[in-house]
A and B are shown apart, each in its own frame.
Chain A
Amino acid sequence: MGFLAKIFARFGKANAALEKERTDQSFLTFQHTGEVIRAEQLLADHGFAVRVLAPPAWLRTGCDMVVVVPAVHEPAIRALLESQKLAPEGVYPVADGLLAPVSLFRYVDFGDWFMVQAANMKITVERRSGRIVNVSGGGCPDVPYLAAKYVGMTLDDAEEPRFSAQTLCAYALQKAFMEARRRWHHG
């Protein structure tokens, strides 16, 4: 095989693999972001390999997430969701790359306190007691609500934000909260 033919063959294989991955997956849309958060947790609790990603541009309305699921398990997934009154609004094949959420954390050491940032959300904790002393960042309306609820509670006493989360900002707060809890317990 000539040099160019080899390159095209490799490119073709890569494309075929990508295409296979895409057609192997579906994404589920819901009426509200809060339902996406609950659906992801329910499916993960039942052992399904699911991911939360941004919808394609043509489906975006403002504060959006979709749940990407293995297409082969779609009937079982729909049945499970419907049994919990979480029926998806739509199911689509994954045809293009979907944007992934921010997955890195930023950690700031303030001596007696530490701060963890996930995406646009920050949570600050008193090192000695594990008490949440501040929640900052974000722009969606559940952020001030959750902040008022959490400030003064310890990381162990506070319920995970995902139980009352409704928006992407609150979903980011869940990630920051879990990382702060992990750091507080394990340093």
Chain B
Amino acid sequence: MASWLIVGTVPTETFSLYLGAFHLENWEIHFDGDKRGGVVEVQRGTPTLLAAACLTLESLGCKPPMALLCGDTGQGKGSREIYAKLVQCLPEQTFSGLTFHYLYPDVDWHNRIWLALERLAPRPQLVCDAGYMYVAKMSGYAQGYDLFTPDLGELTFLADAQAPHPFYTRGFVHAEDHDVAALARKAYQDSNAAEWLLVKGETDHLVHQGKIVANIQEPNLPVLEAIGGTGDLLTGVVTGLLASGRPMEQACKEAARLCRQAGQLANPTPASQITEMLARLPELVRSLG
């Protein structure tokens, strides 16, 4: 079975472009084919997603994912190196799926990658979160993706046809006051949502083609919203479950439940760090069987 590729940035300028395997050791990401010997600490962002996907797949006895990464602290230079590498390598390598994460939104590069993806047969599964989800919506190609993992505020952004970025979304802050079903329907009707949405919030909503098909509410821990990396954790776990071969609906439901259970076992406060939840993941994934 082909590997799953995770595409994102790491928060340092000095990390140069890397495509290859990785493993997790003492909450650091180690790059197996990298002779430079660099490591990246797992705190939040794409390193957390990498750790969650890796732990999930290892706990299921499956092959870990691959990573395409570059350092980027906001200038966008590292993201553009990633985009260029991806356009070059997509025709040469086979991936079962790709997860796009913290990347500088650049609609021109998005569209070049989209063209490269469209030429692949079969086309890999496509998951988007964070900056790449923003640019996927802005590009007008959102419905070509398999899964977006927005939080409730980002769902409001997807449902606002005019907003180019969540920063400009009308009604963003009070997203919890909105009707999630109506927002999901509008986002899909306007072609601004992927086929599936896993909407993260006090209740996680699984949406298929604009309709809510499942709600995951338990265990309910409001403090998780404050902890940086909980969204990365969820996207990482769902990536791992999809890469293991699970169908989309099952993968999303299990991922949402697992992340809530990991939170409960970690007994978190708003000051907890994401590694406390990641540490609980292997035992929970193994219990899935």
Contacts and interface: CB of A to CB of B under 8 A. Distances in A.
Nearest to B230: A136
Contacts of B9: 141, 144
B74 A172 contact: no
Most buried by B among A105, A136, A166, A171: A136
A64 B108 CA distance: 13
B151 to A, nearest CB: 7
Interface in B159-176: 162-170, 172-174
Given A134-B228, A144-B44, A34 B74 contact: yes
A141 B228 contact: no
Interface string A129-149: 000011111111111110110
B228 A105 contact: no
Contacts, number: 187
Contacts of B229: 136
B65 interface: no
Contacts of A63: 76, 104-106, 131, 165
B250 interface: no
Contacts of A99: 162-164, 168
B64 interface: no
Interface in A138-187: 138-145, 147-148, 151, 164-172
A110 B223 contact: yes
B73 A119 contact: no
A69 interface: no
Contacts of A73: none
A60 B138 contact: yes
B135 to A, nearest CB: 5
A101 B273 CA distance: 30
Given A102-B172, A165-B74, A143 B154 contact: no
A112 to B, nearest CB: 8
A117 interface: yes
B87 to A, nearest CB: 16
B209 to A, nearest CB: 24
Nearest to B134: A139
Nearest to A99: B168
A101 B73 contact: no
Interface in A59-112: 60-64, 99-102, 104-106, 108, 110, 112
B164 A60 contact: yes
Contacts of A101: 167-168
B33 interface: no
A113 interface: yes
Given A140-B105, A141-B76, A113 B269 contact: yes
Given A113-B271, A119-B172, A122-B225, A141 B11 contact: yes
Given A63-B76, A140-B105, A141-B104, A120 B167 contact: yes
Interface string A40-58: 0000000000000010010
12 contacts: A60-B107, A63-B131, A102-B169, A106-B174, A110-B222, A112-B269, A115-B270, A124-B270, A139-B105, A144-B11, A144-B46, A165-B74
Q: Which 5 A-B pairs have the closest CB atoms?
A: A142-B74, A166-B74, A144-B45, A139-B130, A62-B105
